[in-house]
Every structure is written in C-alpha cells, then in structure tokens.
Structure 1
Amino acid sequence: MLALTECRYGQPGIVAAALSNPLVDWVSPEGTADLNGNNTALHSDTAVYDFSGIARLRPQLFTKPEKYFDPFASPILFFRSPGYGVPPAPAHVPLDDMTNLSKLEREEAYRREIAVTEIEGPATDMDLPDGDVVQTKRKASKRFPSKALGLKLPHFHISTGMRSPLADQARELTHMLRQSFVRQSKNMTPSSSEFGRKVLLDNEADELNDDEKATLVRQKAEAKKSVELQIHADLGLWDDTPAGKARVSEAAQWLKRELEE
C-alpha cells in the first residue's frame, strides 16, 4: 500500500519494493477472479495451506467489512473493483451514526418502493429485508494511478511459491502493476501521448502498424523488467531455511541495485 501511494513526482518516496507472498486482497481471500468474473481459485493439488487460517484472522483484524474493502487494507482494489457489495457489519458491532443513518435511509427507500408497487398491501416491518444482501458484481478494472494523483510507481520484486495460497494474489498484483507501467510509459504516437491511456485489447493491438506494434512490445518488456515475479517450487517464504535466507539475500541485492541506479 505504501509503495503504491508514497511515490509522488518530485517528492521523497518509495522507489523500489521487494515483496514476499503479498496479501493484497482481504475481500475474497479464498481465491481471486479475473476481470471477466471467471474464478481463478487456487489449485488444490498445489496449495499445501488453505485460506482457513487467514479467513479466521479477518474478523479479528477488521471490525467491519467496510474496513477490509478499503484499498489501503486491500491494495489490489486500487486497480479493480472488489466484485462484491460491502456486507453488513456483524450483529455484535454497534452502528456508528453515519452507518445507522444509511441503514434507515435504505429501509425508508424500501418502504416507498413497496408502497408504489402496491405489492401485498401497505408496508410493515415484516416487509423489510432482514439484512443487506451481498451481491456478486463483475470486477471492473481501474486506471491506477490516474494523472491527477501525480504518482510514479516504484519498481517491484515480487516472490511467491507454487504451493503458496497467496500465489494467485501475487500473479494478479504483478499483472495489474505491469499494465500500469505500460500506461505510464510513452505512448505509441505523438497524438495519443496522454498519461493514463488504456491498455489495448488483443483485437485493438492487431490493428496497430508495425512501428506501433514494436513500441508496444518494447513497453511490455520494460514493464516486465519493472515488475519482476518469481514463483518458487515450494511456498516461497522468506524464513530461516537455507532457501528462505537465499531469497532474502537476493531481494536485498535487488534493492541495492535499484537504489544505485
């Protein structure tokens, strides 16, 4: 989260970030879904740990769902919508004034809707919904960072493991970051050089001329260098095992090179 937000042009900030098994999505920790809504949950034959332990931590860390729907808690939401509506807070959590006011407004809107449609007579307390229904929505991509934010993303070194339950989150973060680097790079023609240009779809890329295609290939190669992803055969942890210590040392050497450039 800090690497994505503390990187303003012309100001001191983060210029490189090395991450191991980043947990960037608390909204759907059981897995992820792509921007078309397709489930990309972890493969049971590769993950040795499931998300049950992480899921048990969530209510201990976040008193209300709206807190883990915050992109500063789930940084992947800087790049896309959560794909779910925010569920209501648990019954034991007291409502603050604004939350209670919002709940009363939703109930009043429901009463008006029932009255207008005249379904089953006048609205009563029994007509009111028992609670907010959490609806699954299509995940939508966001252009982050926008030109207005004045941010220059740092370089990233991301590592995970094939058997890690966080591997899918690491892959999605890498993909989103690389898309942002392509958008931040110089565009393919002088007439379309505005920052924040959308990433081309496959059919749009096919319509480019040879020079534009070559530029796009170069931009993607530079984005891949700017956001490195390493997927190890095991969990890919930074721990006190020989392999874990080697990964920490490798990340430190990468940071050293980045800071010297």
Structure 2
Amino acid sequence: MLERLLRPRPAALKSWVHRPSRLLACRRLFSAAAVPSSTRERVSIPCRSNSSISIDIHHALSSESPVLVYLPAGSVIPDCSDEQEGVLAALAASSGCTVACINYRFSARYPWPNPLHDVLYGYDWVVENLLPKQPALAWIGVCGELVGECKLGTSRIVAAAVNNPIADWVFPDDLPVSEPSQLPEPNAPEETSFPAGEDLMTWWSQQDEQQEQESPKVPTKKIKRVPKPPPPTTWTSNSDNPLIPTLTLSGERDVLFRRLEHSFDRFASPIHFFRSPHGKLIYPPSDDRFASSSPTELPGDPLDIESRMDIDHYESFSEDDASPEVPTLVRCRAYARIYPPSSSNLSLPQWRITAGTQSPLLDQARELSKMLKRSIARQTLRSRTSRVLWHDPDEKEKYEAYAESQVHLSSPEGVGLWTLPSDLTWHTRLEQMGAWMKDKLHKR
C-alpha cells in the first residue's frame, strides 16, 4: 500500500485528484452578497522570506467585538471561493464577530510545514491588529473545515468549531490489520505506558483491583476462540462518497507531504497530541546502515564532491531503472499522551465538532471528541484537586459530565460540509454554529 502511495502517480490520476467534482458545477447555494461590501477587506501579510499570504476580513459593527479565525479547507476542496465567501458572511452575521479567514498555502509547491507557518503568521497578525485593546474582550474563536493544522491550548482561544476534521493523516487502509498482542512497539519510547484506547485514571484503578483480586487458582485449559473481525470503519463504508472520496484524501496526502513521516507531526495530525501514532515506518537496511555509520567507517573517496557528482551523473545513464527502496508503514502499539502538559498553563477551549454520517472522516471526529473529553476531565480534576486519579465513581461521573458539556459532537445526515452542502439544512447548521460562537465569545 505504501509503495502505491509513494511512487509517482500517473498524470491521469493527478488530474483526477485535482479535478473538481461534477457536483461542484451545480452547488452555488451560497451568496457572497450576504453583507455589504464595505465591511469586507483583504490584507496581505508578509511571511519573512517566504513571500506573503492574504487574510479576508469581515468586520463586525463594533470594533470591540471578539474575533473569529476561519481556516478554510485548502486544496482538499478546489474551486470553492464563492461558497467560502458565503460561509464567512453567514458566520459574521450569526456570530456578531469580526471574521478573519487566513488563506494559508498548502499545495505541491507549498508542502508541509508551510501551512503551519502561514497560520501562525496570520494568527499573530490577527492578535496584534484585530483584537480589542481591552483584555477582558480580547477573545478568539477558531473555526475550520477539513483542517489538520491546529494551535491547541492557546490561552486567548476559548471556543473552537471544526467540520470534518482530518485529525490523523495516517488513514485506516494504510495499516494492515493484526492481533493486538502481536503488534510491535513504536520506534522510540513514548511519554506513558498506558494503552491509547484506555482512560488513564480508569486504567490505574482497574490494575489495582486486579492485583487485589488475584489469588492462586487451578490452571485451566484455555479455549482458543477465533477472533472476530473488526467492525467496518467509516473510512471503508463511506469510501466512495462523491464529495470527499478516500482516494482523493490519500492522493492529496501524497502531494501535500514530501515524506510520509511528515504527516506524523502533531500539528498536522492533532490526534497525536493525545496518543502516539498507530503506525511506524521501517526503513530499508541500507538507510539504517548508512545513518548509523560513523564518518571513519564510510568508504573513502579521493575525489572532491563536485567531481564525484559529475561521475555519478554520467554513470546513472547506464544503471537499470530500478525503483528505489521505500520505507514500509506497519501497525504498532499506540500509547496515551498527556496534553496539555501538567507543567504548562495551557487550557483546552470548548469544542463543537461536526462530521456527517456519510463522511469517511466520521471515525476521526469521534476519536478526537473522545480524546478531548478525557483530557478536559483530567485537567479539570488536576486543577481543582491537585490529583490525577478518581476517588470514587461519583467523582468520575461528575468530571466526565463537565467534559461532556465542553465538547459537543454532531453527525448530521450526508457529509456535512459547509462549502459543499449536500442538503438544504446547511444554512441552519451554520447559523447554529455562529450563535454558539456568539454565546461563548460575547458573554465572557
């Protein structure tokens, strides 16, 4: 599977991946004239030596209004500028905030980590130029669609809404299915030794109970049972969705990341803030030998580097066109990570996550929601009691209920995209999300 992703794609596939869907021609459901043109402007932000980016701003009526930062879908959904303008206008009208859309660059010309740098430059500009001067009013909301890059835990960000988030660029069909007991360990030691699928505080109590209940027992013969196949994932069941098919997402990853290991970055795949990746790369033996060799062990060459490059260039014409060895992606054990760190003053904002029932990214949205709730419950318990373990089930239920109120996951019919609406309820959902942002940002 990895070789298929890493080898150069045929021109026909490249053109298909970047070709707008047939549905895009008839999806003009938004209107860019939702607000007067005088309230909109575009500014150019320099990115030091890396050219510049633009920010589209929809100003609120009051200069003391909070700011809503919008991160578009980028190259995953091409040619949707009209729909995006309608989304920005609807958000500005329903939230009462100044909406700033950071047009970050994410393409084959500007691969990762360019979009992360662009978002940080844009965010810093928004903080310096658009936030109210009074600290009590200087709050930011973040809203995005099909976004992976994320700036989790910034103190000014009090609310975040994401639509069909790409929380993990390592997709399920990249990893072969194997028994959990046979999974190898990650390449490097992890932050904790807790399984990623378990709640840290609950896992500890279960281990203590097992140790107390353990007693010498007569060994019995275990009956080997045939393991049940795992349930189908939404990535598999919704793979042929016409709006965001899985082939397009996998192809985009091949273009947007120069190397597969770049997609493991926590800012590219935010789920890795809370757990380690489910996969690891096994590099060819030749790469390992060369990387682990000291300079004295490497073969000497009396020629200077320019002469050697010239010789290698001419010798390359007589070599066979053998495909280079590529690293192999295999499934491995995943362990929990603690975020935000206990030594920091970071706090997670309130979340509103949306992914449609026909979206291949629904499972990722569910996992992100679960990890956020666990992190918020753990952080709240630690900040209020200076403890990291539950005392009793009642206390556990109390903090889990609080975490439920901080993270809301909704799964509407269809895919649920804002810029590619598949039904007529998109405007209502967008207004509800804007009203939620207004409630969280204006009442503070």
TM-score (norm 1): 0.69
The 5 Å alignment of 1:90-169 reads: 104-106=290-292, 132-169=327-364
Q: Deviations over 1:210-231 (max 9, x none)?
A: xx32222121111011000011
- Alignment match, 2:276: 81
- Alignment match, 1:56: 251
SS at 1:143 equivalent: coil
Residues 45 and 39 of structure 1: CA distance in aligned 2, closer, same or farther (over 3 Å): closer
Cα distance between partner residues in 1 of 2:265 and 2:413: 32
Q: What's the Cα RMSD here?
A: 3.5
- Alignment match, 1:42: 234
- The offset of 1:47, in angstroms, is 5.9
Give aligned pairs, total: 212
- The offset of 1:28, in angstroms, is 2.1
The 5 Å alignment of 1:168-207 reads: 168-186=363-381, 190=385, 193-194=386-387, 197=388
Q: Which amino acid aligns with 1:18?
A: A
Q: Does 1:235 align with 2:415?
A: yes
Cα distance between partner residues in 2 of 1:156 and 1:107: 48
- Alignment match, 2:170: 27
Of 150, 153, 162, the match for 1:2: 150
SS at 2:410 equivalent: strand
Identity of paired residues, percent?
29
Cα distance between partner residues in 2 of 1:106 and 1:167: 41
Cα distance between partner residues in 2 of 1:214 and 1:226: 19
Cα distance between partner residues in 2 of 1:173 and 1:161: 15
The 5 Å alignment of 1:214-225 reads: 214-225=394-405
Q: Which amino acid aligns with 2:415?
A: L
Is residue 87–residue 132 contact of structure 1 (8 Å, CA) maintained in 2? yes
- The offset of 1:86, in angstroms, is 3.2
Residues 46 and 145 of structure 1: CA distance in aligned 2, closer, same or farther (over 3 Å): same
- The offset of 1:177, in angstroms, is 0.1
Unaligned ranges ≥5, structure 2: 1-148, 178-194, 199-229, 298-324
- Alignment match, 2:429: 247
Residues 39 and 223 of structure 1: CA distance in aligned 2, closer, same or farther (over 3 Å): same
- The offset of 1:43, in angstroms, is 6.9
Q: Which amino acid aligns with 2:429?
A: R
SS at 2:168 equivalent: coil
Of 198, 204, 213, the match for 2:393: 213
Cα distance between partner residues in 2 of 1:79 and 1:64: 23
Unaligned ranges ≥5, structure 1: 90-99, 112-129, 201-207
SS at 2:360 equivalent: coil
TM-score (norm 2): 0.42
Q: Deviations over 1:130-182 (max 9, x none)?
A: 55443321111111111123210000001111111110000000000000011
Residues 216 and 170 of structure 1: CA distance in aligned 2, closer, same or farther (over 3 Å): same
Q: Which structure would you say has the larger RCO, counting Cα contacts within 8 Å and 6 or more residues apart?
A: 1
Is residue 29–residue 54 contact of structure 1 (8 Å, CA) maintained in 2? no
Residues 217 and 2 of structure 1: CA distance in aligned 2, closer, same or farther (over 3 Å): same
Residues 233 and 136 of structure 1: CA distance in aligned 2, closer, same or farther (over 3 Å): same
Residues 64 and 187 of structure 1: CA distance in aligned 2, closer, same or farther (over 3 Å): closer
